[in-house]
Chains A and B, each alone.
Chain A
Amino acid sequence: MIRIDSVTKRYPDGTVAVDRLSLDIPDRSITVLVGPSGCGKTTTLRMINRMVEPSEGTITLDGVDIMKQPVNTLRRSMGYVIQNAGLFQHRTIVDNIATVPRMLGWGKDKARARARELMERVGLDAALAKRYPYQLSGGQQQRVGVARALAADPPVLLMDEPFSAVDPIVRKGLQDELLWIQAELGKTIVFVTHDIDEAVKLGTMVAVMRTGGHLAQFAPPAELLTDPADAFVEDFLGADRGIRRLSFFPSVGLELLTAPIIAVDATAEQIAARDTTDAPYLLVTDLDGKPLGWAEPGELTAGEIRQDQLLSYGRPFIAGTDSLRAALDCAVLSPTGWAVAVDGEGRAAGVVSQQTIGEAIRGAHAERRADGEAGTKADGKTEKAAR
């Protein structure tokens, strides 16, 4: 565990970048430091590998004071990923990745073999091995940056706004990949970002910092969204934190209706037999059960159902896998106000109305509140107002 214990960084001109910060960074999880510029998050990160030395306080790694270790040994035991990747432009991709193993005294062949293995792991084509950084896109360079940090298999990974310079689509891919790598390798990752959405998406724990190097709140993302410590955190989370919080509620318990689903080859009797008391629309599926679109029951004529007459259903969500946020989004996108749930193969699993989703959200809130009360009572702490 990395323990930051009342650490202060004061520069010679009197500026305080980090002010008596204490943070216990749990092993094998992603801890995100997030905050506006000038909040000291990068300084904090850089103190962990001593690129910045604390003025006061101590940082320990597995109980050992980092100031008591040789600085370059410490740094080589921590992978470091930086914005714009910071690759060595004069070295090939494979040699960039092999840098730290080479410094640790590995043979050239062994280090390169390791580098190629990592290229595969971060999703880089082996054909890129002999290229130079300028020949790669920003997203590919950032992947090389991650591979280079992982090369010597360090237990700790420090990431300083690694994905903020790439476009949103590439960023999403990199984030997903990081979560996947983390699940696979179980590194202790400290991740700095100014993007609260990224923090909520990636963090096991999120430390929100405010200008002047103060810690505003340190909590798991769901708790952060439910129960911001103060007005600053609430403001920083943005206006739609309620909606974003739904990402943490699974859609498992959502009650799906299958009655309004009808196949495209349905007979007139089947259409007439559909119970439309709960749902004003019928969802027409193709012969495989994949959704085609919505129709009002009266408009359907057996044997003559054409897809271009149907109302779009927007986008489906995967029942059980996706969150309530995804389900609500689908319902909002659908012109009928009903969301379509599909199974893993894309076949319609049921339909659900905005109203039902709303009830599920209220139910989930009540459940969380009950959990929260039980938790705080067990901790013996005073209960905060559950919002």
Chain B
Amino acid sequence: MSELFDLPSDLQHSYFGLVMLHLREALLPVLFGLLVALPLAQLCVRLRWLYPPVLWVTTVLYAIPSLAFFVILIDYTGLSELTVMIPLAIYSLVVLVPAIVDGVRSVPQETLAAATAMGFGPVRRYVQVQLPIAAPAIIAGLRVASVSSVSLVSVGMLIGNQGALGNLLNSGMIYNQPRLIWLSVVGTAVLAVLVDAALIGVRILLTPWMPRGARKNTRTLAKAAAR
């Protein structure tokens, strides 16, 4: 059994070590993307005219191949994890910004009016009313962004040993060992499924107030946003 997970020494990691590295390289950018997307989305909700150009910019950024980012970033951040994670964080915006904007906009007018009439200031209203109600849509966006990030990390192998599980693909080809390629592909897929499942768990914990039927709707919403 242990032979199955034995890796060539040039990878400098155990299989488990690669899995953890993969998770870190995939999820830190999404987290960072979320931190940028939250205020950006709020700005887009407040200033309606800003939303189309922001959407346009995030889409264009998403269309830039990661290789092009690497070429530019290597001068500044070298052959490091950071060089892989920066483009991933930028890519996550294309899903997260619309997910948050749509989520916050989906809060019913009556609810907002009621909150205002009860003496909620704008900040309190955003934190205590709009964000919690937008949570399902935001988490749906996080699911799409995280899964896509997990699969994208593999490109990191192009700049030396920064592709985590992706590096196994390279090793598998060099040493002609299909086992390594399977370990990479299956490992990445399982990881993506697990991350997705974990986020579903988070959503269920955070939103006991959602009717069952409505849960599907937020998913289709996020998928529409992802497109």
User: Is the CB–CB distance between A90 and B110 below 8 Å?
Assistant: no
Cβ of B220 under 8 Å from chain A: no
Whether A88 contacts B129 by the Cβ 8 Å rule is yes
Q: Check if A51 sits within 8 Å of B113, measured CB to CB.
A: yes
Cβ 8 A contact of A49, one of B117, B120, B208 = B117
Indicate if A55 sits at the interface (CB-CB under 8 A): no
CA of A103 to CA of B118 in the docked complex: distance in angstroms? 9
Cα A72 to Cα B208 in complex, Å, equals 30
Report the bound CA distance from A106 to B113 in whole Å: 23
B110 A85 Cβ-Cβ under 8 A: yes
**A51 with B119, Cβ < 8 A, contacts A85-B110, A86-B111, A134-B211 known:** no
User: A26-34, A74-82, A248-256, A293-301: which lies at the B interface?
Assistant: A74-82
Total interface residues on B, using CB and 8 Å?
Answer: 23
Known A-B contacts A89-B133, A89-B209; the reply to A72 vs B119 at CB < 8 A is yes
**Residue contact B210 to A134, C-beta cutoff 8 Å:** yes
- Which of A51, A72, A82, A103 interacts with B110 by CB under 8 Å? A82
Q: DSSP majority for the B interface?
A: helix
Residue B35, interface by CB 8 Å: no
Contacting pair A87 B118 (CB below 8 A)? no
How many residues from A make CB contacts under 8 Å with B?
Answer: 31
In the bound complex, residues from chain B placing their C-beta under 8 Å from that of A236 are none
* Residues from 91 to 105 in A contacting B, C-beta threshold 8 Å: 91-92, 99-100, 103
User: Which B residues are CB-close (under 8 A) to A148?
Assistant: 114, 118
Which of A86, A91, A99, A103 is in CB contact (< 8 Å) with B113?
A86
* B108 lies within 8 A of chain A by Cβ: yes
- A132→B208 contact, CB < 8 A: yes
> A90's contact among B112, B133, B214, by CB below 8 Å, is which?
B133
Interface residues of A (CB under 8 A from B): 49, 51, 71-76, 78, 80, 82-92, 99-100, 103, 132-135, 145, 148, 158
**Interface pairs (24), CB distance under 8 Å:** A49-B117, A51-B113, A72-B119, A74-B119, A75-B119, A76-B119, A80-B114, A80-B118, A82-B113, A82-B117, A84-B108, A85-B110, A86-B110, A86-B111, A86-B114, A86-B115, A87-B111, A88-B111, A89-B209, A90-B207, A91-B209, A100-B118, A103-B118, A134-B211
Identify the 6 closest CB pairs spanning chains A and B, nearest first.
A86-B110, A86-B114, A80-B117, A72-B119, A75-B119, A132-B209
